[in-house]
Amino acid sequence: MTRRQKYAVCLGANGERCAELVPKGTGRCRKHRAANDRRYVRIGDDVYRSKRWQGVRRTVLRDNPWCAWPDGCKELAVDVDHAIPVGETDDPYDVANLRGLCKHHHGVVTMREMRDRGAI
């Protein structure tokens, strides 16, 4: 016996409604998925995808392997954070503006910045 795939109505984008059926759990049709993805382009995406960033990131994590959270965290750093956000600095590759953070503390910083920008 084959399982029937379940469908749901597309969620649309930007308040636009769509009647297209999509596999349950996918949320949006192809057209609205692309429109929704464009809304959430991160500031600095071009920086984070560059080979130069990958090298700088490796250097920061190698030179400072522990989370640089001010209260002293004992976790290994796995993310590199800009102390001054990418959109507000002239040089996103400036090592003096970068710090290694554990996953938890990088999430804390990111949520705080998003809240300050009104993104959430």
Tell me: the pLDDT tens digits for 71-88? Answer: 889 999 999 999 988 878
Residues 24 and 83 in one domain: no
Please check whether residue 2 lies inside any domain of the structure.
no
- Alpha-carbon distance of 101 to 79, in angstroms, equals 5
Please check whether residue 1 lies inside any domain of the structure.
no
Please check whether residue 81 lies inside any domain of the structure.
yes
Residues 55 and 97 in one domain: yes
Residues 112 and 53 in one domain: yes
Domain, as residue range, for 89: 45-117
Nearest CA to 101 among 49, 66, 63, 57?
Answer: 66
Up-side HSE of residue 32: CA atoms within 13 Å toward CB? 18
Residues 71 and 107 in one domain: yes
pLDDT grade for 116, boundaries at 50, 70 and 90: confident
Question: How much is the pTM?
Answer: 0.62
In total, how many domains does the chain have? Answer: 2
Q: What is the pLDDT of residues 16-70, one digit of tens each?
A: 778 888 888 777 788 877 766 655 556 677 888 899 999 999 999 999 999 999 8
Residues 65 and 102 in one domain: yes
The residues, any chain, with a CB within 8 Å of residue 103's CB and separated by 6 or more, are 75, 78, 79
